[in-house]
Amino acid sequence: MPFCSIYPLKKYLSNLFLTKKRFMDQTTIALKDTSANPGPLGLLAFGMTTVLLNLHNAGFYELNSMILGMGIFYGGLAQVIAGILEAKKNNTFGLTAFTSYGFFWLSLVGLIVFPKLGWIDKTSNPGMIAYLVMWGIFTFLLFFGTLRLNKALQFVFASLTILFFLLAIGDATGNATIKQFTGFEGIICGGSAIYTGVAVLLNEVYGKVVLPIGPVVR
């Protein structure tokens, strides 16, 4: 083939390549996350179970199968599911918090039920205090993460930190008044989680602030 006929073809292909390269360099592909927000599920599962347990701690009724059932299925499994869904949304804080507190409820039920089934000895008082203190420390550390989130979550984690340490103090002293006071504080903590979960849900559904949660300016 003569050179004069090859050159225009090479030039055409070269221009086509450069045009395609410029187009690819200037094109940005944006992936939109269309999955549902698992936050309300996790907050409501935690809050409702916490309120029901602390109604018992405050002296309104005995430790019963309703509390244990909620601890396994709603406070436990539902929160673990919410945590796994948070992982898919690339929310490390949500993954860590919901999954951890879900397994907290499952472990708490295990501590209560396993000795009754004769599978293992009942946890000693010092062992239970260490358990509660460790969860208090863990919650206190997570509280610092909420400082980049919103005021409602800050209150939930601050009140939960206090709750764990009050529970530990109640077990350490055996003081019935402290234990009853702890129950009321736990009702407030659980109630704040319920409020936050409902607020996030309704604000998303209506596309506006129905219930304020006090967003933090980053």
Q: Are 54 and 166 in contact (CB under 8 A)?
A: no
Spatial neighbors of 210 by CB under 8 A, at least 6 apart, are 199, 202, 203
- What is the band of 22 on the pLDDT scale with cuts at 50, 70, 90? low
pLDDT digits (tens, 9 = 90+) for 143-184: 999 999 999 999 999 999 999 999 999 999 999 999 999 999
pLDDT in tens, 107-132: 999 999 999 999 999 999 999 999 99
- Residue 34 binned pLDDT confidence (cut-offs 50, 70, 90): confident
Residues 6+ apart with CB under 8 A from 94: 38, 39, 42, 82, 83, 86
* CA atoms within 13 Å, Cβ hemisphere of 42: 26
